[in-house]
């Protein structure tokens, strides 16, 4: 698939059934030298160079056109330039031998974009902020896609060379240095990859062979996973990031949009692969699927093999409860009423066999919520709006803090989005850097068409450099209402509840009064019952409940007196006892 370097030489292998003949062109400082590759009857072309060739730049010549390798390991000059070989045996992983990973139930994710996480926007500069995450209480970094994209900046979902870490952020050796730096600090590190489509610029796969299904997604060509060679390409990619870069797992983007009519869906095949790799390598490895609608068929409890799905419903219902945003794609959220239901059920929508989103019937089986990654904010929730606003900018930091407690003390792996912990005032906007004028115009029109609930007339163009530079994360600060201190306290509380076997779905009872903005997580326990009570701004100015024994943490002006707990608007209280209304 990708070039293999050994002490005896370098092997090049390419699947290009559309080409009767392929030449390998290896560049030197003065010129390029062409080698004829050998074709077999399955459309694979091979050539063995009788010497190791690390950092060699090369193209494949197909029908007279010089093309980058579909499985390129590095694109130092971008998506259109020559590919480069990488000798993974020269990378020093000696400091990583004792790393065993982190169990799923203990993970606390922090999603970040390498290009905007720091001013430098590189793999190495990202290391400058890792200690902040450790101090916050994070134990897992999730990086938005790194596979090579066109231009100088991109969210990463327009990837076209899936084995090549983005050259704008540094070289492969520097990515390895970042992974080792995370592990040294006790941080797991996860990568976001995109298999449901390839981006529209620099996508040369169709010139090599029938990689794509005839039906494209809205974002680009859709790989045909029913074809054995294409399937092998993506499964090898899923293995590659684990074995060669030591990632602790992969978050697979929009798995519902992956076209695969095979008896075993490719995501379940990858999940089974990761289970085997985990045993082989002696560390926790997880396959996590982004499915904005709950799909149990990917989970072990329902015959699947993935470890966890993302769960969007709680976050979207929370957003709809405190802002005017209540529509996401074809799903509608009824504000506080849906927030209570989502907290009680774990999800609101499921995907039908026809691929449509429908409300889960009340008698449906309870979701396996301990596997669902939940978040108040992520790159989509913040960035898929004209101004890249964070939730506290629509409401207040007090509101954000109350909602954060419901997410971070819920019995699912939580995720924070970069800057959330200190209520960063900078936006996170959508940004791309296509060369094609037609694509630049299409992106601007497509955003407005995909998210019609927003007004886009005065939005910053995603193709403008300003969109990227404004999205740079500012230095960490306490902010106006000490959000950072609150988030640290919530994460300490979460870890304590896990140690005490409190934070379990079977112990959770969710009650509330959505008309008056009251939401309560009650955890039963023989000796240490716990609760989280949040009062949003709906209905009465204050509400009084009973059942609180004492208060551990509080945000706002709530007070406990004579066994009665009174909460004002946007108050949040965490304590011992079980709340009764």
Which active-site residues does the annotation give?
253, 290
Cβ burial 388-427 (10 Å sphere, 16+ → b, else e): bbbbbbbbbbbbbbbbbbbbbbbbbbbbbbbbbbbbbeeb
Cα–Cα dist 545/531, whole Å: 12
DSSP-H helix ranges across 129-171: 130-136
Cα–Cα dist 430/463, whole Å: 9
Strand pairing of 286-289 and 249-252? parallel
- The 10 Å Cβ neighbour count of residue 461 is 18
Residue 37 near residue 46 (C-beta atoms within 8 A): yes
Cα–Cα dist 87/505, whole Å: 46
Tell me how far apart the terminal alpha carbons of the chain are, to the nearest angstrom.
62
- The 10 Å Cβ neighbour count of residue 131 is 12
- Which residue(s) pair with 4 in the sheet? 11
Which helix (H) or strand (E) segment holds residue 568: the answer is strand 564-568
Non-local CB neighbours of 3 within 8 Å, separated by 6+ positions: 10, 11, 12, 13, 53, 69, 73, 85
Cα–Cα dist 423/241, whole Å: 32
- Which residue(s) pair with 13 in the sheet? 46
- Which residue(s) pair with 441 in the sheet? none
Strand pairing of 331-332 and 57-62? unpaired
Structure tokens at 6: 């050994």
- In 3D, which of 326, 281, 325, 287 has the Cα closest to residue 307? 287
């Amino acid at each position: 698939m990708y070039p293999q370097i050994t002490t005896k030489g370098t092997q090049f292998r390419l699947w290009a059934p559309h080409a009767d003949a392929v030449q390998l062109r290896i560049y030197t400082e003065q010129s390029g030298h062409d080698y004829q590759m050998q074709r077999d009857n399955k459309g694979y072309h091979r050539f063995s160079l009788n010497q190791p060739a690390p950092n060699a730049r090369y193209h494949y010549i197909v029908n007279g056109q010089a093309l980058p390798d579909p499985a390129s390991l590095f694109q130092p000059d971008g998506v259109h330039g020559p590919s480069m070989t990488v000798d993974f045996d020269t990378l020093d992983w000696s400091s990583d031998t004792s790393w065993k990973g982190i169990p799923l139930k203990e993970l606390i994710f922090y999603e970040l974009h390498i290009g905007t996480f720091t001013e430098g926007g590189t793999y190495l500069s990202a290391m400058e902020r890792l200690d902040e995450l450790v101090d916050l209480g994070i134990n897992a970094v999730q990086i938005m896609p790194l596979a090579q994209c066109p231009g100088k900046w991109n969210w990463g979902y327009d990837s076209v060379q899936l084995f090549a870490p983005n050259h704008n952020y540094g070289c492969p050796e520097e990515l390895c240095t970042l992974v080792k730096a995370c592990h040294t600090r006790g941080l797991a590190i996860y990568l976001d990859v995109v298999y449901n489509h390839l981006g529209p610029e620099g996508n040369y796969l169709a010139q090599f062979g029938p990689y794509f299904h005839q039906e494209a997604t809205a974002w680009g060509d859709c790989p045909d996973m029913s074809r054995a060679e294409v399937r092998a390409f993506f499964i090898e990619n899923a293995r590659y990031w684990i074995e060669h870069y030591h990632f602790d797992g992969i978050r697979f983007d929009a798995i519902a949009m992956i076209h695969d009519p095979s008896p075993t869906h490719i995501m379940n095949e990858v999940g089974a692969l990761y289970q085997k790799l985990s045993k082989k390598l002696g560390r926790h490895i997880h396959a996590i699927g982004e499915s904005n609608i709950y799909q149990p068929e990917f989970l072990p409890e329902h015959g699947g093999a993935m470890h966890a799905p993302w769960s969007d419903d709680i976050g979207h219902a929370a957003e709809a409860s405190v802002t005017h945003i209540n529509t996401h794609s074809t799903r509608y959220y009824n504000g506080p009423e849906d927030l209570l239901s989502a907290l009680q059920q774990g999800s609101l929508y499921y995907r039908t066999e026809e691929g449509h989103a429908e409300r889960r019937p009340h008698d449906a089986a309870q979701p396996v919520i301990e596997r669902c990654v939940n978040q108040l904010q992520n790159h989509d929730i913040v960035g898929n709006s004209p101004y890249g606003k964070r939730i506290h900018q629509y409401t207040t930091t007090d509101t954000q803090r109350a909602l954060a407690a419901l997410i971070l003390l819920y019995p699912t792996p939580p995720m924070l989005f970069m800057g959330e912990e200190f209520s960063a005032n900078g936006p996170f906007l959508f940004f791309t850097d296509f060369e094609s004028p037609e694509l630049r115009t299409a992106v601007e029109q497509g955003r407005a068409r995909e998210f019609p609930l927003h007004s886009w007339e005065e939005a910053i163009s995603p193709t403008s450099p300003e969109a990227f530079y404004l999205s740079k994360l500012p230095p960490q600060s306490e902010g106006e209402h000490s959000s950072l201190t609150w988030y640290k306290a919530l994460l300490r509380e979460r870890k304590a509840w896990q140690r005490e076997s409190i934070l379990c779905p079977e112990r959770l009872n969710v009650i509330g009064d959505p008309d008056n903005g009251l939401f309560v997580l009650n955890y039963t326990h023989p000796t240490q019952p716990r609760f989280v009570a949040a009062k949003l701004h709906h209905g009465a100015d204050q509400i009084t409940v009973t059942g609180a024994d004492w208060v551990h943490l509080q945000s706002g002006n709530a007070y406990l007196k004579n066994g009665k707990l009174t909460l004002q608007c946007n108050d949040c209280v965490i304590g011992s006892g079980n709340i009764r209304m």
